[in-house]
Amino acid sequence: MITKSQVVDPEYKRSHDMANQPISDDAPGAILFPEYDTLYELIASEVRGLTDEQLDFSSDQWGWAEWSIRIQLSHMSSLIYRWLISRWGHTLFPNDEHRIDDVGDLNHPDFDRRMNDNKYHDLPIILEKLEQGIDLARRVLADRTVGFLRSHFYVQDQGPHWDLMLKAHPTGITPTGEPGKGDMLLEATMRHIYFEEITHLFNIQRLKRAQSLPTPADLPRVGYWALEGWDVSEA
């Protein structure tokens, strides 16, 4: 049974169906991913008003609860910049025209796959950087064509977790022939970023339910968390 928090997102379904239809290479990339337009509000609506205690709750009883809501959000913000600037920057922003002036702190080596905790700790500041990152992704999709998204690739390191995650990508990621490597089209990168955001939002909802808190956001049942074999355990 599909619950309120596990609805099939019609907007995503339309865009996914569209991705399998003939589309002109000259069409804007945004036509493939309209769900980015509502992504920030979907996430923000789930965490507004949480106390520091609620944001920092974690548990070692479940793997998904080892990162608190605050760390989940920091990771969700950071991953956008890591993909679009740190990995794709030479292609997308050859003259550093991304207009992001604090890239080093958004992908800080002293913090595990998240932003600098010392600079980005309070919820409003984390949400500001998340919104800025999603706006950057939307700008990429508006400025680049479908043909561009489907003709440029990044050689990606693929750990064991990708054995399952690849099943969420019908197109756009192909093996290079070298173990642990894959060619990821920019189209697949944009899909991956969205799937990451949704899957970590699912983790946030689980962390809230573990604290007996309501989860108001209607979570699209798409991406990694919807795969058979993904850990969807609850507290």
Which residue would you say has higher pLDDT here, 46 or 21? 46
Is residue 24 situated within a structural domain? Answer: no
Domain total for the chain?
1
Is residue 159 situated within a structural domain? Answer: no
Indicate whether 5 pLDDT > 60: no
Is residue 200 situated within a structural domain? Answer: yes
The boundaries of the domain holding residue 123 are 30-151+193-226
Confidence of residue 22 (pLDDT cuts 50, 70, 90): confident
- The domain that contains 96 carries what CATH number? 1.20.120
Is residue 188 situated within a structural domain? Answer: no
Q: How much of the chain, in percent, has pLDDT values that exceed 90?
A: 91
Is residue 221 situated within a structural domain? Answer: yes
Instruction: Report the candidate in 165, 192, 197 with the shortest Cα–Cα distance to residue 87.
Output: 192
Give the predicted TM-score (pTM) of the model.
0.92
Q: Average of pLDDT values for 89-94?
A: 98
Q: Average of pLDDT values for 101-127?
A: 96
Indicate whether 9 pLDDT > 90: no
Lowest mean pLDDT segment, chosen from 4-18, 44-58, 117-131, 142-156: 4-18
Which residue would you say has higher pLDDT here, 180 or 15? 180
Is residue 3 situated within a structural domain? Answer: no
Pairing state of beta strands 153-157 and 181-185?
Answer: antiparallel
Q: What is the pLDDT of residue 7?
A: 40
Q: What is the pLDDT of residue 142?
A: 98
Indicate whether 212 pLDDT > 60: yes
Is residue 89 situated within a structural domain? Answer: yes
Q: What confidence tens digit (pLDDT) does each residue in 219-235 have?
A: 999 999 999 999 999 99
CA distance 147 to 34: 17
Q: Average of pLDDT values for 108-134?
A: 97
Cβ contacts of residue 120 below 8 Å, gap of 6+? 74, 77, 105, 106, 126, 129
Q: What confidence tens digit (pLDDT) does each residue in 136-149 have?
A: 999 999 999 999 99
CA distance 126 to 203: 17
CA distance 20 to 68: 37
Which residue would you say has higher pLDDT here, 224 or 17? 224
User: Six-digit token pair at 66?
Assistant: 């080892």
Q: Average of pLDDT values for 69-85?
A: 98
Q: Average of pLDDT values for 116-142?
A: 98
Indicate whether 96 pLDDT > 60: yes
Is residue 165 situated within a structural domain? Answer: no
